[in-house]
Amino acid sequence: MADPVTYRPKTADIPAEPGVYRFSDGAGRVIYVGKAVSLRSRLTSYFQDPANLHPRTRTMVFSATHVDWTTVRNELEALQLEYTWIKQYDPRFNIKYRDDKSYPWLCVTWSEDFPRVFVGRGQQRKGWRYFGPYAEAWAIRDSVDTLLTVFPMRSCSPGVFRSAKAAGRPCLMGYIDKCAAPCVGRIEAGAHRQIAADFCQVIDGHAARFIRGLTDQMTAAAASEDYEKAAVLRDQIDALTRVNERNAVVLEASADLDVVALALDPLEVAVELFHVRSGRILAERSWVADRADDADEAQLVEAFLLQIYGDVEGTPEERRRALPPEILVTALPATAAVLSELLSGARGSLVGLRQPRRGAKKALLTTAQRNADQTLALHKARRASDLTTRNQALGEIADVLGLAEVPLRIECYDISHIQGTNTVASMVVFEDGLARKSQYRHFAITSVASNDVGAMKEVLTRRFSRLTAERATLADQDRAGLIDSASRQAKSFAYEPALVVVDGGAPQVAVARATLDDLGFAAIPVVGLAKRLEELWLAGEEYPAILPRTSPGLYLLQHIRDESHRFAITYHRQRRSRSMVESLLDGVPGLGEVRRKALFRAFASLRQLRAATPEQIAQVPGFGPVLAEAVAAAVAEQPGGVNLTTGELLD
């Protein structure tokens, strides 16, 4: 790797103007492209102390051997040139939302004499109508098969069409009435094109008028006692209704927009994209991409919009179909106005970027956000549950930490508090790379130390002191009895971990190492995982170890750390809510610990307590009419409630 000092340009030589820059490696390959309002300010930030850089940025800077730039007149030109260079050079350090997954679309070959419908992927042709893309090919194929019973347009390939025409006999679709058989002259080109146009109208979300028309025809047929025709029309109405119901109505009928939601973690970003046309979600797509640097959510939204909408091509109608007049996002980029101008030029009319705060659009954006969160969680869960990946992850951890054997049992500790109050700690256990939730533990910190280091020392002292005590009480012949033969679960907690992970950096690792040494567990390795840069801190090491961002070992450690944090914050909220409730009830005479616990079991929140009558409170074991009246009076003075499970304030 090259030392950045060897190719760092002089600060005076870098213009303080808007522009686009690119880093290249020794072979001349462009490895990163970026833009800046001030090239001088942005480029000099890459050549600061490497310890202050994001790990991936640091790797990029040391991989490069040259940097050059091009100045532009404004931010709009910078956005255009940045996208052009990213598309041209495909730099490996830029975030890539486009992956090798090809999403299917529905095509109607409108330029042909007898248009046909099919589901395809890949390059699109001019003059054909496209719908989608869709997340699942089977779903759209099923919709097409259903619609052909109502709109029997051609769906065969050109070869099948020519063969049927030459033979004078239609294919199977013609015999089962799912094709009007234009190949044998059963229908004229104009009439067939009208069937295709109606088919496109339904796919576009305009099925209501066809359902109304078929319903009127069915009613008329039934009135004239033509029940066979009425039954056929009934089946067609059912088919249209099924297809129509698959596209849920979420907004008013005139709404044409896309919804973009992101879910972030330090290593990856998941994106959910809803295509809403005529108020219906016609399609959705999702991605999971590696985060290229420490860009925030707004910057990631900007990169996504450029990559997805930057190369919209085709006729004006096709561009308007692919790029809607409104895009809802979870975070507005700083360049929102410029980006809107760029996308408006691509569409040929105004494109607005908005972050809704209330109403139906906010609800739709929230739904997309939940889907993005689930996509990211599912992606991480699949990585964690795969046996080969788990084995590779444990092997990588052992190699990086210099362990003689892979750590089959890993314990991770995290501290949670708010300004030193209600401090708690969590311990989660992973065995063979999988969570062992039955062995999770949480601790209420009782020492006066309110900082993370002091709390970490207490929790480790308590955990490993108990381990020592339990081992001392077990006779050698009883050790085999630690495992229940029926459940195969540990009866006690007298097992030591192969690796201890702490949430934090060098200070947390140092105190954990010292605590274990003092308790006689010097052989157990300790590692800290810092959140900001996902670094592995080892005791006694001046610099952290950096695992590749796509490393299975780093994914596993991050998953363990996140699980420990979740478990700690849940317990902290419970204790915080309990303390808040207890402080409100401190002035009630005769309300001791036992009665408080009974009250908490009967009512989950202060809202429920406030809504309860004194008679209902008096039904709690240990409560009489006088005490119930006192509790009701104390609660009635409070303007809100607190959920005793989550600690959230309630209206």
The residue ranges of every structural domain in the chain are 4-89, 105-246, 257-380, 402-563, 586-650
Say whether pLDDT at 448 is over 60. Answer: no
Using CA atoms, how far apart are residues 306 and 33, in angstroms rounded to an integer?
Answer: 13
What integer pLDDT is reported at residue 77 of this predicted model? 83
Instruction: Please tell us whether the domain made up of 257-380 is placed in CATH 3.30.450.
Output: no
When pLDDT is cut at 50, 70 and 90, the band that residue 420 belongs to is: low
Q: What are phi and psi of 248, to 5 degrees?
A: -65, 135
Say whether pLDDT at 94 is over 60. Answer: yes
- Give the position of tokens 């016609």: 282
**Tally of CB atoms within 10 A around 244:** 19
Q: What is the CA radius of gyration of the chain?
A: 32
DSSP structure string for 524-575: S-EEEEETTTTEEEETT-SS-B---TT-HHHHHHHHHHHHHHHHHHHHHHHH
Tens of pLDDT, residue by residue over 566-590, are 888 877 666 665 565 566 676 677 7
What integer pLDDT is reported at residue 329 of this predicted model? 92
Fold held by 402-563: Nucleotidyltransferase; domain 5 (3.30.420)
Domain at 4-89, CATH class? alpha beta
Using CA atoms, how far apart are residues 265 and 97, in angstroms rounded to an integer?
Answer: 15
When pLDDT is cut at 50, 70 and 90, the band that residue 599 belongs to is: confident
117-143: average pLDDT: 75
304-318: average pLDDT: 76
Tens of pLDDT, residue by residue over 479-515, are 444 544 444 444 456 678 889 999 888 888 899 999 9
CA distances to 82, 335, 347, 531 from 338, rounded to whole Å, are 13, 5, 14, 33
Tens of pLDDT, residue by residue over 180-194, are 889 988 889 889 999
When pLDDT is cut at 50, 70 and 90, the band that residue 139 belongs to is: low
CA 383 to chain centre: 15
Tens of pLDDT, residue by residue over 198-239, are 888 877 767 777 888 888 888 888 888 888 888 888 888 887
What integer pLDDT is reported at residue 646 of this predicted model? 41
**Exposure pattern of 209-220 as b/e (b: 16+ CB <10 Å)?**
ebbeebeebbee
What integer pLDDT is reported at residue 560 of this predicted model? 87
515-522: average pLDDT: 90
Fold: same for 257-380 and 586-650: no
Whether the CA torsion 197, 202, 208, 210 is positive or negative: it is positive
Name the least confident of 64-73, 164-173, 245-254: 245-254
Instruction: Please tell us whether the domain made up of 586-650 is placed in CATH 1.10.3470.
Output: no
Tens of pLDDT, residue by residue over 19-38, are 999 999 888 889 899 988 89
Using CA atoms, how far apart are residues 226 and 220, in angstroms rounded to an integer?
Answer: 9
* Higher local confidence (pLDDT), 466 or 139: 466
243-269: average pLDDT: 75
